[in-house]
């Protein structure tokens, strides 16, 4: 090769290298490997175990390749915000009436009309009508509260969020002269609800099994179906401060249409706001962290946990109930035991070579099927058991980078078992040639082992569960209904809000504070109903 051609080739390489160096997205996962310390730290955090199992040989030897959680998470509903969450009179819904599903404003109007025409006459309802009350309405009536405090607060949140989103709960903001808050949309996403309450509760709190019937002062009987009790549990967990103390891995992907690279791997877009950190959001759950966390949490500890099963902007939380996986050879694609499927990285033509942990010497492929409990529409069934639950599964494929002893060091998501390096084409061409999109979780999270400290009943007068609760319970109950979550500087939050100029373009980030209502049912009532449902 003559000197001029050598210089031309060198210049091309330098240009490509410089271009990548200037691309901040090439400086994060999946192009830049996590350090061993970061991988181990994330797994230790998720499992709350200072010495989690990290060895693939030992995982196979101990029979941890197919395991179900000791307590299968129970099926429930995400209690759509647009329908009033647990103030939804689900028994009169067909779930085919579009206006009942998508129009929060119409649902709020119907609730106000119902409050005047039905709830103001609640003691004159017959037993069939009592049975068809919303879960929160039954709870209020059980408390002897004909003002329906919890129900009203749930609907107030729906109306406040729908009409002005978070600005409805803004308590303080430093708006400079000439600026204003941006207008908020009145649209409400169909998926918004309390799936984070149901999914989390289902991983650790007991299942409601039988209908509990309460006799009211007028002698009429009112049933709490298992799904009514589950609704109360779900709201309790959704609005509890346990949500601030869950153990989480991954960040929420904010892109509706996630881009992929030439191998089908999810890749992120640059931040939309200047100054925001460039971080892996859509590609962020690392397969090494995922694999070891699943095996340790469910396989070793027997615990269920929550997975956001979709990797795009929509949030879709479900409790993982079990998993099963097998090994495959990344060179041939053939399944086998850990020894048959593991290959040496030396001289292996690896498409992901530049993103591998430099200390890895071996590689093994993994096909995992994640089984999770699905949500289902609430019903007035008298009983509930695992036979009533619905399950779905999702398959993930990835590889694990190993040291010489089989300890996990890193890994990459895969769309194919055998991947051929794609070179000689520009980035746009490579993206178009991606054979298929990789499936992976968006993020996953678990209750802390000490989660019960957040759900201790209050020391109250005893209630036998036969009729309405003691009058002395009214004060503590209304305190729970009126719980306000303070996102203020006093509580250590450094919240920022975007303001825009009244004229012209541009925006600014300014300090702000919020006070979000988080209405909760009284835990004593919830626990008593759960205990009674076991009889």
Give residue-wise pLDDT tens across range 144-199. 999 999 999 999 999 999 998 889 999 999 999 999 999 888 888 888 899 999 99
Say whether the peptide bond before residue 120 is cis (omega within 30 degrees of 0). Answer: no
Residue pLDDT, tens place only, 264-287? 888 877 776 666 777 788 788 999
Strands 343-344 and 408-413: unpaired
SS (H, E, C) 37-64: HHHHHHHHHHHCCCCCCCEHHHHHHCCC
d(CA 152, CA 167): 20
Residues paired with 170 in a beta bridge: 514
Question: What's the pLDDT at 21?
Answer: 45
Q: Report the pLDDT averaged over residues 228-244.
A: 97
Question: What's the pLDDT at 422?
Answer: 63
Q: Which residue has the tokens 């499927």?
A: 341
d(CA 80, CA 61): 44
What's the chain's Rg over C-alpha atoms?
27
Q: How far is residue 436 from each of residues 97, 260, 350, measured CA to CA in Å? A: 36, 9, 18
d(CA 216, CA 125): 11
Q: How far is residue 158 from each of residues 79, 173, 190, 478, 479, measured CA to CA in Å? A: 12, 23, 13, 19, 20
Question: What's the pLDDT at 7?
Answer: 30
Q: Is the pLDDT of residue 244 over 70?
A: yes
Q: Which residue has the tokens 């939050």?
A: 493
Question: What's the pLDDT at 19?
Answer: 38
Cβ contact 512:188 at 8 Å: no
Mean pLDDT score across all residues of the chain: 89
Cβ contact 400:378 at 8 Å: no
Cβ contact 113:90 at 8 Å: no
Q: Is the pLDDT of residue 48 over 60?
A: yes
Question: What's the pLDDT at 12?
Answer: 31
Question: What's the pLDDT at 430?
Answer: 46
Residue predicted with more confidence, 56 or 277 = 56
Q: Which residue has the tokens 């996990």?
A: 408
pTM for the model stands at: 0.89
94 — pLDDT class (breaks 50, 70, 90): low
Q: Cα(first)–Cα(last) distance of the chain, in Å?
A: 86
Share of the chain above pLDDT 70, in %: 90
Q: Report the pLDDT averaged over residues 30-51.
A: 94
Among 50-64, 79-93, 220-234, the least confident range: 79-93
Tokens of 469: 């609760």
Q: Is the pLDDT of residue 125 over 60?
A: yes
Question: What's the pLDDT at 259?
Answer: 83
Q: Is the pLDDT of residue 51 over 60?
A: yes
């Amino acid at each position: 090769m003559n000197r001029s051609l050598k210089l031309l080739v060198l210049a091309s390489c330098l240009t490509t290298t410089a271009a990548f160096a200037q691309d901040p997205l090439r400086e994060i996962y999946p192009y830049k490997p996590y350090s061993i310390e970061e991988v181990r730290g994330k797994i230790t955090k998720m499992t709350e175990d200072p010495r989690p199992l990290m060895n693939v040989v030992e995982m196979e030897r101990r029979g941890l390749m197919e395991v179900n959680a000791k307590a299968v998470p129970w099926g429930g509903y995400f209690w759509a915000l647009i329908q009033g969450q647990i103030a939804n009179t689900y028994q009169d819904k067909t779930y085919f009436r579009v206006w009942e599903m998508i129009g929060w404003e119409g649902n709020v109007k119907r609730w106000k009309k119902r409050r005047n025409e039905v709830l103001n006459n609640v003691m004159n309802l017959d037993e069939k009508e009592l049975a068809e009350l919303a879960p929160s309405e039954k709870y209020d009536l059980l408390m002897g509260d004909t003002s329906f405090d919890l129900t009203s607060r749930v609907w107030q949140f729906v109306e406040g969020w729908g009409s002005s989103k978070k600005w409805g709960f803004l308590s303080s903001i430093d708006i400079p002269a000439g600026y204003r808050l941006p207008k908020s949309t009145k649209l409400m996403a169909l998926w918004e609800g309390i799936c984070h309450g149901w999914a989390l509760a289902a991983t650790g709190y007991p299942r409601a099994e039988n209908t509990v019937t309460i006799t009211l002062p007028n002698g009429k009987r009112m049933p709490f179906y298992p799904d009514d009790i589950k609704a109360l549990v779900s709201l309790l967990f959704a609005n509890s401060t346990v949500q601030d103390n869950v153990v989480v891995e991954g960040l929420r992907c904010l892109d509706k249409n996630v881009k992929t690279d030439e191998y089908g791997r999810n890749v992120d877009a640059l931040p939309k706001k200047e100054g925001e950190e460039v971080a892996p959001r859509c590609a962020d759950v690392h397969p090494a962290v995922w694999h070891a966390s699943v095996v340790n949490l469910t396989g070793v500890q027997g615990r269920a946990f929550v997975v956001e099963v979709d990797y795009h902007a929509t949030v879709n939380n479900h409790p993982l109930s079990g998993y099963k996986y097998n090994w495959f050879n990344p060179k041939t694609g053939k399944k086998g035991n850990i020894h048959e499927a593991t290959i040496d990285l030396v001289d292996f033509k690896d498409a992901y070579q530049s993103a591998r942990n430099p200390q890895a010497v071996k590689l093994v492929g993994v096909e995992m099927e994640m089984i999770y409990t699905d949500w289902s529409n609430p019903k007035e069934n008298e009983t509930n058991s695992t036979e009533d639950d619905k399950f779905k599964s999702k398959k993930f494929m990835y590889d694990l980078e190993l040291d010489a002893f089989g300890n996990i060091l890193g890994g990459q998501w895969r769309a194919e078992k055998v991947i051929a390096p794609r070179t000689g084409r520009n980035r746009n061409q490579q993206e178009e040639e991606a054979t298929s999109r990789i499936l992976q979780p968006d993020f996953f999270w678990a209750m802390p082992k000490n989660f019960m400290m957040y759900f201790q009943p209050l020391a109250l007068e005893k209630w036998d569960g036969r009729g309405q609760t003691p009058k002395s319970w009214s004060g503590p109950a209304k305190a729970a209904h009126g719980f306000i979550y303070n996102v203020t500087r006093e509580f250590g939050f450094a919240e920022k809000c975007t303001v825009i100029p009244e004229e012209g373009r541009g925006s600014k980030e300014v300090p702000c504070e919020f006070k979000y209502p988080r209405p909760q049912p009284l835990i004593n009532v919830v626990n008593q109903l759960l205990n009674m449902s076991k009889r």
